[in-house]
Amino acid sequence: MKTELSLEIPHDLLAPAKEVIANLQKDQANPNYRPIIYICAPYTAVVMNNRKVIRQVENYCRFVYECGGIPICPQLYLPRFLNLRNYNELNAAVFMDIVWMRKCSEIWAFGKLTGDMKWEIKKAQKKDQPVRYFTESLEVIK
């Protein structure tokens, strides 16, 4: 039985990402290990409740899951209980983003890079975290 977010992702799109996940799983003691992947996607559009962008970001999470990773996506989680238009709560959200990002094996950026995404990528690169890039249609950008 398929969930609403089940995607029909062509094998040629899944294969490169699955290979990345398999490499992250190598040498792990736990055979059920799944690497945590931070989803870098448009933040402001999600906060502004752009349904099309929210759906895309949900699909990015599904893609990571189907490839064998655990997606972490603050854009989908934090607006449920924080008012990101409130300065103090936005600052708290930014802090939480950074904490979660540090706990992830890699950062996967999807689609055209926004200012928010560039900021997140810069933070990740400062800590030498691997960043991978994908198109909106889930193709790996080499």
Mean pLDDT of 77-82: 92
pLDDT at 3 over 50: no
Q: Which domains does the chain have, with CATH numbers?
A: 11-21+34-141 (3.40.50)
Mean pLDDT of 131-142: 93
pLDDT at 2: 42
> Which pLDDT tens digit goes with each residue over 113-130?
999 899 999 999 999 999
User: Which pTM was predicted?
Assistant: 0.86
What are the C-alpha distances in Å from 33 to residues 40, 76, 105, 108?
22, 24, 12, 18
Cβ-in-10-Å burial (0-12, 13-18, 19+) of 138 comes to buried
Mean pLDDT of 79-101: 93
pLDDT at 44: 76
Average pLDDT of the chain is 89
Please report how the helices 115-126 and 87-102 are oriented relative to each other, as an axis angle in degrees rounded to 10: 50
Start-to-end CA distance of the chain, whole Å, equals 34
